[in-house]
Structure 1
Amino acid sequence: MAASPLQAPEAVPLPPPPSSDFMSQDQWDMLWALLDGILPSYVRASAVTDKETQIPIPDAEFDRLVESITNSFENPPSKELIAEYLAYRPAEQASFRVDCLRSLAASPAKAKLAKVLGSLGTRTGSLLLTGYWSPITQQPASVREAIVKSWTTSRLATLRGLAKSLATLANKANGTTSPYYKKLSGYSDVPKDWKPVQGFDFKFIKLPPGNDVHDLTTDVVIVGSGPGGAVCAKNLAEAGHKVLVVDKGYHFPPSSLPMPQDAALNYLFDNGGGAYVSEDASTALTSGSCWGGGGTINWSVCFKLQDFVRQEWADEGLPLFTSRDFDECVDRVWEYIGAGTEAVRHNFRNGVLFDGCKKLGWHAGIAAQNTANKNHDCGHCHLGCGSGIKRGPTVSWLPAAAAAGAEFMEGLSVERVLFDSDGTTATGVQGTWLSRDAEGGLDKDVAERTQRNVIIRAKKVIVCAGSFWSPVILLKSGIQNPQIGQNLHLHPVNCLMAVHRQQTRPWEGSIITSWSGEFENLDGKGHGAKLEALCMVPYIAFSLQGWTGGLDAKLTTMKYHYSSSFISLARDRDSGRVFVDPETGGPRIDYTTSDFDRENNLEGIIGLAKVAYVSGATEMRVHYPGVPPFLPNAAEQEKHVQDKDPEFTDPAFAKWLQQLRTMGNKPPLTSFGSAHQMGTCRMSATREAGVVDERGSVWGTSNLYVADSSVFPSASGVNPMVTVMAIADWISRGVSREL
Structure 2
Amino acid sequence: MSALPDPIRDGLARGWTVHGAEHAPLPEAITVDVAIVGTGAGGGISAEILARAGLRVLLVEEGPLRSSRDFKQRESEAYPQLYQEAAGRKTADKAINIMQGRSVGGSTTVNWTSSFRTPAPTLAFWRERFGLSDATPEALAPWFEQAERRVSIDDWLTDPNPNNAVLATGGDKLGIPTARIRRNVKGCWNLGSCGMGCPTNAKQSMLVTTVPTALDAGAVLFVQTRAHALRRQGARVEGLDCVAVGFNGSPSGARCRVTAKHVVLAGGAINTPAVLLRSQAPDPHHLLGRRTFLHPTVISAATFAQRIEGWAGAPQTVYSDHFLTTQAIDGPLGYKLESAPMHPVIMATTMAGFGPEQVAQLAQFPHSQVLLALLRDGFHPDSPGGRVRLKGDGSPELDYPLTPAVMEGVRRAFLSMAEIQFAAGATSAQPVHEQAPAYKTWAEARSGIAALDLRPLLTRVVSAHVMGGCAMASTPERGVTRPDGTHWQLENLSVHDGSLFPTSIGANPQLSIYGLVNRLSHALAQRLGAKPVALA
The structure 1 residue matched to 2:306, chosen from 480, 486, 502, is 502
State the partner residue of 1:529: 335
1:625 CA displacement: 3.2
In structure 2, relative to structure 1, the CA distance for the partners of 1:398 and 1:366 (3 Å cut) is same
Is 2:346 the partner of 1:540?
Answer: yes
**Bigger-Rg structure (1/2):** 1
One-letter amino acid of the counterpart of residue 580, structure 1: L
Tell me, yes or no, if the aligned pair for 2:177 and 2:320 is still in contact at 8 Å.
Answer: yes
RMSD (CA atoms):
2.4
| Equivalent residues in 2 for 1:160-199, closer than 5 Å | 196-199=4-7
State the partner residue of 1:692: 481
In structure 2, relative to structure 1, the CA distance for the partners of 1:206 and 1:396 (3 Å cut) is closer
Deviations 1:520-566 (A, max 9, x none): 1454116401111112111222322221x622221111000111111
Tell me, yes or no, if the aligned pair for 1:625 and 1:663 is still in contact at 8 Å.
Answer: no
Tell me, yes or no, if the aligned pair for 1:425 and 1:702 is still in contact at 8 Å.
Answer: yes
Deviations 1:295-339 (A, max 9, x none): 001001111111100111111200121164422211111121111
One-letter amino acid of the counterpart of residue 407, structure 2: R
**C-alpha distance in structure 1 between counterparts of 2:399 and 2:236, whole Å:** 31
Aligned pairs, how many?
512
| Equivalent residues in 2 for 1:413-492, closer than 5 Å | 413-420=226-233, 423-434=234-245, 451-481=253-283, 482-492=286-296
**C-alpha distance in structure 2 between counterparts of 1:671 and 1:683, whole Å:** 31
State the partner residue of 1:313: 126
SS in 1 for 2:19: coil
In structure 2, relative to structure 1, the CA distance for the partners of 1:212 and 1:378 (3 Å cut) is closer
Tell me, yes or no, if the aligned pair for 1:535 and 1:541 is still in contact at 8 Å.
Answer: no
Gaps of 5+ in 2: 529-536
Highest RCO, 1 vs 2 (Cα 8 Å, sep ≥ 6): 2
SS in 1 for 2:192: coil
Deviations 1:131-154 (A, max 9, x none): xxxxxxxxxxxxxxxxxxxxxxxx
Is 2:422 the partner of 1:613?
Answer: yes
SS in 2 for 1:452: strand
1:706 CA displacement: 0.6
1:682 CA displacement: 0.8
The structure 1 residue matched to 2:151, chosen from 337, 340, 348, is 337
State the partner residue of 2:52: 238
| Equivalent residues in 2 for 1:585-664, closer than 5 Å | 585-632=394-441, 653-664=442-453
The structure 1 residue matched to 2:84, chosen from 236, 253, 270, is 270
State the partner residue of 1:152: none
1:385 CA displacement: 1.0
State the partner residue of 2:389: 579
In structure 2, relative to structure 1, the CA distance for the partners of 1:388 and 1:704 (3 Å cut) is same
Which range is displaced more, 489-498 or 663-672?
663-672
Tell me, yes or no, if the aligned pair for 2:467 and 2:498 is still in contact at 8 Å.
Answer: yes
SS in 2 for 1:428: strand
Tell me, yes or no, if the aligned pair for 1:337 and 1:371 is still in contact at 8 Å.
Answer: yes
Tell me, yes or no, if the aligned pair for 1:679 and 1:715 is still in contact at 8 Å.
Answer: yes
1:375 CA displacement: 3.8
Bigger strand share: 2
SS in 1 for 2:269: helix
One-letter amino acid of the counterpart of residue 407, structure 1: V
SS in 1 for 2:123: helix
One-letter amino acid of the counterpart of residue 234, structure 1: E
Alignment TM-score, normalising by the size of structure 2: 0.91
SS in 1 for 2:299: strand
In structure 2, relative to structure 1, the CA distance for the partners of 1:472 and 1:284 (3 Å cut) is same
In structure 2, relative to structure 1, the CA distance for the partners of 1:446 and 1:543 (3 Å cut) is closer
State the partner residue of 2:366: 561
In structure 2, relative to structure 1, the CA distance for the partners of 1:207 and 1:297 (3 Å cut) is closer
One-letter amino acid of the counterpart of residue 348, structure 2: F
State the partner residue of 2:203: 390
Tell me, yes or no, if the aligned pair for 2:269 and 2:468 is still in contact at 8 Å.
Answer: yes
State the partner residue of 2:33: 219
Tell me, yes or no, if the aligned pair for 1:684 and 1:693 is still in contact at 8 Å.
Answer: yes
State the partner residue of 2:375: 570
Tell me, yes or no, if the aligned pair for 1:486 and 1:680 is still in contact at 8 Å.
Answer: yes
The structure 1 residue matched to 2:107, chosen from 287, 291, 294, is 294
One-letter amino acid of the counterpart of residue 475, structure 2: T
1:402 CA displacement: 2.2
Gaps of 5+ in 1: 1-6, 8-193, 436-441, 633-652
SS in 1 for 2:134: helix
State the partner residue of 1:174: none
Is 2:318 the partner of 1:514?
Answer: yes
Deviations 1:266-314 (A, max 9, x none): 111112x322222222111111110100100100111111110011111
**C-alpha distance in structure 2 between counterparts of 1:462 and 1:665, whole Å:** 40
| Equivalent residues in 2 for 1:706-725, closer than 5 Å | 706-725=495-514
One-letter amino acid of the counterpart of residue 425, structure 1: R
State the partner residue of 2:355: 550
State the partner residue of 1:407: 220
Bigger helix share: 1
**C-alpha distance in structure 1 between counterparts of 2:436 and 2:103, whole Å:** 38
In structure 2, relative to structure 1, the CA distance for the partners of 1:532 and 1:664 (3 Å cut) is farther
**C-alpha distance in structure 1 between counterparts of 2:24 and 2:173, whole Å:** 67
Alignment TM-score, normalising by the size of structure 1: 0.66
Tell me, yes or no, if the aligned pair for 1:249 and 1:290 is still in contact at 8 Å.
Answer: yes
Tell me, yes or no, if the aligned pair for 2:487 and 2:495 is still in contact at 8 Å.
Answer: yes
